[in-house]
Structure 1
Amino acid sequence: MNLPNKITLARICLIPLMMICLLVKFDFYPEPLQWGEFSLPFNQLLAALIFIVAASTDGIDGYLARKHNLVTNLGKLLDPLADKLLVTAVLISLVEMGKLDSWVAVVIVSREFAVTGLRQIALLDGSVVAASNWGKLKTVIQIVAIVALLINNFPFVFMGLPFDQIAIWAAAIITIYSGYDYFVKNKHLLHSSNA
């Protein structure tokens, strides 16, 4: 197994660790970080750091695979799977914690399933649906929104700016639009005789 695939597997392995930090209450966690009325439980901070590390490995594994000609079928399978597992796991955890409305999680996860299905149809047709600029923007905004939710809107809470809510709304809107964009640009695949 090559290095990019090992990095992708490491990202997958970080997912249960992040979920344990978010959803399991341990007595040995330090006291929450507090500044006036603001409070950030240590487990959320730890989960945010794990999420940031895991999300950052997405670009690293792809870059290494392309640069060193290490692109494999296993990597093509694992990389998008790892991305979807990471985002889905944290969104479900945030819903469970009461920090995210379930409809937002459903919209984001549904879009991921739909685009994955489109990519499968493309493979049957012998083509590839490449990541679009909207898809890349969607990923960045989702990561920013998730981190903002995990760290309780720090530091924007001190300015009275609901940045976490603005970011999650932006993520939902761009997620919907990027999914629409994929389907419009690849609608020929849905009418192909091979699909």
Structure 2
Amino acid sequence: MAIPRQLPNAITVARIPLAVVSFILLLMGGPHGEADIALRWTAAIIFVVGISTDWVDGYLARRYEIVSEFGKLWDPIADKLLTGAGFVGLAILGEVPWWMVVVILVREWGITIHRLMIANEHVVAAAWMGKIKTVAQGVVLSWALLPFWLWIGVPSFSVVTLVLMWIVVILTIASGIDYVLAQIRGARKVAR
């Protein structure tokens, strides 16, 4: 079965409006404890659908050998918009610490800006550690966005969320270091 060559790219681009809609609904829903549960569920489900498409577009591109330079560049940007909006929304609502969100965003957008700056030379695809970090961010954000506190209780939910956020921060920093080291090794090879 043939699929349209641009389908993976269309799925990637679709994550951008999903990020915006999820973010707006999250803020409209309010923080846990006083949240409009319907809006919170809707924001969370839109996020989960959006982050799930990251796997779908990558699978389709590899499976049907239609990996494109556009996809290599825009897939991580769409991921960062979606996850960044989720982290910022949770920080605005006071559900995760701002300093953790800032660390995550500095790493994410620093590397994205670097990728854009060198895009004319070559496109840097995500490394395995970056993919693990993205999966961890998606899982933790799904946990934090879905209103599980209704069944678990806010204090227990908040403790689990904080522990998960620490894991994400550590993975985010480690994958950032891995990216920088890979770029240094690559630059040395080119210089030889």
Q: TM-score, normalised by structure 1?
A: 0.78
Say how many residue pairs are matched: 184
- How do 1:100-119 and structure 2 match up within 5 A? 100-119=96-115
Alignment of 1:100-139 (within 5 A): 100-120=96-116, 123=119, 126=122, 129-139=124-134
Residue segments in structure 2 that go unaligned for 5+ positions in a row: none
Any gaps of 5 or more consecutive residues in structure 1? 27-32
Shift of the 188–15 alpha-carbon distance from structure 1 to 2, 3 Å rule, reads same
Partner of residue 168 from structure 1, selected from 151, 158, 165: 165
Pairwise mapping of residues 1-195 of structure 1 onto structure 2 (< 5 A)? 2-24=6-28, 41-120=37-116, 123=119, 126=122, 129-154=124-149, 156-157=152-153, 160=156, 162-189=159-186
3-state DSSP of counterpart to 2:96: coil
What percent of counterpart residues are identical? 37
For residue 174 of structure 1, report the CA deviation from its aligned partner: 1.1
C-alpha distance after superposition, 1:92-146 (max 9, x if no partner): 11111111211111111111123224445665554x5443332122112111221
For the 8 Å contact 1:153–1:164, the answer to whether it is kept is no
Aligned counterparts of 2:172 and 2:42: Cα–Cα separation in 1: 26
State TM-score, norm by structure 2: 0.79
Moved more, 2-11 or 55-64: 2-11
1:189 Cα deviation (Å)?
Answer: 4.5
Bigger helix fraction: 2
